[in-house]
A = this chain, B = another copy of it.
């Protein structure tokens, strides 16, 4: 490996001058700079970000920890975050906690000493652990908020999806279609956003006088939705809201497999609006919480261009064809 001292030697200058020339300091005169750059090119030299980081105290890297890289929500989030930071020549250390708080904490520790900030997406950590982490390295919480009573640490940003609007509207929508009860297909047990969605639906149902029942899923994917299909009874469960579109899609397919008509017998609402046109049939009514926008907000927090300590991605309900008027089987009707 070639070092800056070799470059300096070849260029016939001191290491200080070489360093200045290479980092574009204006204090070095044109011909000198060229000698250094030529030498560097000749030796195929690139500065060691490691060594630079050690002395400057900034690494040019940020850490990102996700519950599951494989989940489209997180991979989109990551893609956008990466795209923005890349333009600022910032690298990304990625960690996959696989929904495990212990592993998440381990990864945080591995990262802290080599990044300028850590982004925790849908963190499964306890508030206390997050607060503790924020004392060692700036933290951006994405899709997760600390409890209201927890005071926000100095170096903690939050970027959130404002699902309140979307989920309230989802409940209102189903209510207005005559549904008298709702089934919520929840996400992972430790998911903060899943819990929020549940709370919002609960509040909404209460205000509309609807029943709410919750079905848990371990991993929020297609298979979970498919399995849930067989747990539903079209006689009583006419309206379903899912944690995300993957679950909703699995449900759609599972219901079709069971010859249950959507939206004729059961109405389905998803979340994220992450499915490409034409994949879901019928097209899915969903809450559009954009992970890419969330990624952009996280990037803004990292870059210091965020306007406030906690930012929100707005949502709204996108009504398509997986929801329709509830069919109320009256006692008189026979099921044939």
Contact = CB atoms under 8 A, between A and B. Distances in A.
Interface string A30-65: 000000000000001011111101100001010000
B75 A113 contact: no
A86 B103 CA distance: 9
Count of identical protomers in the assembly: 2
A318 interface: no
B70 A113 contact: no
Interface string A144-183: 0000000000000000000000000000000000000000
A69 interface: yes
Contacts of A94: 78, 82, 92-94
Given A79-B69, A86-B107, A93 B226 contact: no
Contacts of A136: 44, 46
A279 interface: yes
Nearest to A221: B276
A78 B95 CA distance: 10
Interface stretch (A120-128, A195-203, A248-256): A248-256
A181 B30 CA distance: 65
B89 A110 contact: yes
Contacts of A98: 83
Interface string A246-265: 00011001101100000000
A287 to B, nearest CB: 20
Interface string A205-239: 00000000000000001110010000000000000
A114 B221 contact: no
Interface string A74-100: 011011001100100101111110100
A222 B112 CA distance: 38
Given A69-B69, A103-B86, A222 B113 contact: no
Given A46-B112, A50-B114, A54-B54, A96 B72 contact: no
Contacts of A281: 253, 256
A26 interface: no
Contacts of A86: 95-96, 103, 107
A49 B83 CA distance: 26
A198 B34 CA distance: 48
Given A107-B86, A278-B250, A69 B75 contact: yes
A324 to B, nearest CB: 20
Contacts of A95: 82, 86, 91-92
A277 interface: yes
A116 to B, nearest CB: 12
B276 A226 contact: yes
A253 B226 contact: no
A131 to B, nearest CB: 13
30 contacts: A46-B109, A48-B54, A48-B113, A49-B114, A50-B53, A50-B54, A50-B59, A50-B114, A51-B54, A69-B79, A69-B82, A70-B76, A75-B75, A82-B94, A82-B95, A86-B95, A86-B96, A91-B93, A94-B94, A221-B276, A222-B276, A222-B278, A223-B276, A223-B277, A226-B277, A250-B276, A250-B278, A253-B279, A254-B278, A257-B278
Sorted from nearest, which 3 A-B pairs have the closest CB atoms? A222-B276, A94-B94, A48-B113
